Amino acid sequence: MAPADDDDALAAEWESALGDGEGGEDSGDGDDLAAEWDSMASDGDDTEGEGTGREATRVLNQDEIDSLLGSDKVGDDGGESTGIQAILSSALVSYERLPMLEVVFDRLVRLMSTSLRNFTSDNVEVSLDNIASVRFGDYLNSIPLPAMLSVFKAEEWDNYGLITVDSSLIYSIVDVLLGGRRGTAAMRIEGRPYTTIESSLVERMFHVMLGDLSAAFEPLSPVTFRFDRLETNPRFATISRPSNAAIVVRLRIDMEDRGGRLELLLPHATLEPVRELLLQMFAGEKFGRDTIWETHLAEELWITDVDLEAVIDTQVMRLRDVFDLKVGSRIMLSATQDTPVQLVCGNVPMYTGQMGRKGNKVAVRIGDRFVKDPKNG
């Protein structure tokens, strides 16, 4: 029975120790600490209540969250973006601020339709899908591979552009130029690099397109687009910083049952030299010039009346002397009878002549045009 007594004694000792911990000094310290925390919390509540009136925190509903983020249905239907979406979209420059670009690209579509028909000896239809403004880095990441990228340089603007051709158009061009039969889809062999023959044929098409692009810009500003290199990896076709904005023109080329897509990218830095011209409003294909208004303005200038003033002499006086002038004061001129008189229009000297009299009126005989002395500025 001794072991049982030992167990009972040990249990009683643990119970007494546990009771001392709950009701002793440790328990008192815990209560004091809890009371201190309660007092601090109540003080904080009182302070907050004094400043804000203890207003309850308002929780936004789903419609308010969508409106804040700009993802509501109004913005998704093609209207103006709101909220955070508007802030993010404002970083891009819309192509619509350059009205002349649409005219240039419409000319490019017409020129390419004719030149590609002559190049392929087939019925080619070129259509303009859309014009968009994107970040250059986002565009490179969105190019579907495999593809061919042509880097070209605008000689007069001293900057670069990019043309991207997808695999469908590449195989269609190769099939047409090498005599493929109509009615059969172009054979696509994925997973292999393009051969030298395919690259050479597509490069010839790039030369034709760059010639048409130069002709499309010529009425606006003469420029020569020169083929620089051909790439198949978008990383090697980096012509601008990833964060820079660029204009992307997407074209669709159809050759009866064959065809593909083509994309033309022009960074805003490339178009900067002709930005003022691209901002012009236009009438037809006059590209900002209105000959009717120019003719009318020239005709009106010839019948415009202007006032000429005859200046006999000029003097520099102190302001104090000018204030002392009164009725009867005399100003002595340094001009003589033979001193030439200067005729001015506004502040611009026009002619020099001699003062005289005709009948009972004072007149000036014009001697010569006024020539500005370069020494005196």
In order, the DSSP letters of 253-300 are EEETTEEEEEEEEEEHHHHGGGHHHHT---STTSTT--HHHHHHHHHH
Look at residue 63 and give its three-state secondary structure: helix
Rounded CA separation 276/356 (Å): 53
Whether residue 226 contacts residue 155, with contact meaning beta carbons closer than 8 Å, is answered with yes
Whether residue 335 contacts residue 313, with contact meaning beta carbons closer than 8 Å, is answered with yes
3-state helix, strand, coil in the chain (%, to 5): 45, 20, 35
CA dihedral 153, 157, 158, 164 (to 10 degrees): -30
CA dihedral 131, 137, 139, 145 (to 10 degrees): 160
Q: What class, spelled out in words, does domain 309-376 have in CATH?
A: mainly beta
Rounded CA separation 119/217 (Å): 21
Sheet with 225-231, edge to edge strand ranges: 125-135, 245-255, 258-267, 159-166, 147-154, 225-231
Secondary structure letter of residue 263 according to DSSP: E
Residue 341 pLDDT: 87
Whether residue 125 contacts residue 262, with contact meaning beta carbons closer than 8 Å, is answered with no
Comparing C-alpha atoms, which of 217, 227, 229, 228 is closest to residue 273? 217
Residue 160 pLDDT: 92
| Average pLDDT of adjacent 10-residue blocks, the chain of 377 residues | 61 62 50 61 51 60 72 49 59 61 88 88 86 86 84 90 88 82 56 80 90 89 89 85 87 84 89 81 54 85 87 86 88 81 86 85 84 62
Q: How many CB atoms lie within 10 A of CB 280?
A: 13
Q: How far is CA 251 from CA 106, 132, 236, 334, 344, in A?
A: 11, 12, 23, 78, 61
Q: Strands 147-154 and 225-231, how do they pair?
A: antiparallel
Residue 264 pLDDT: 92
Residue 295 pLDDT: 87
Which sequence spans correspond to the domains of the chain?
A: 95-182+195-278, 309-376
Which CATH architecture group holds 95-182+195-278?
Answer: 3-Layer(aba) Sandwich (3.40)
Rounded CA separation 102/68 (Å): 34
Single pTM value for the model:
0.52
Whether residue 342 contacts residue 314, with contact meaning beta carbons closer than 8 Å, is answered with no
Residue 283 pLDDT: 44
Looking up tokens 């302001």, which residue turns up?
A: 319
Comparing C-alpha atoms, which of 72, 259, 292 is closest to residue 172? 259
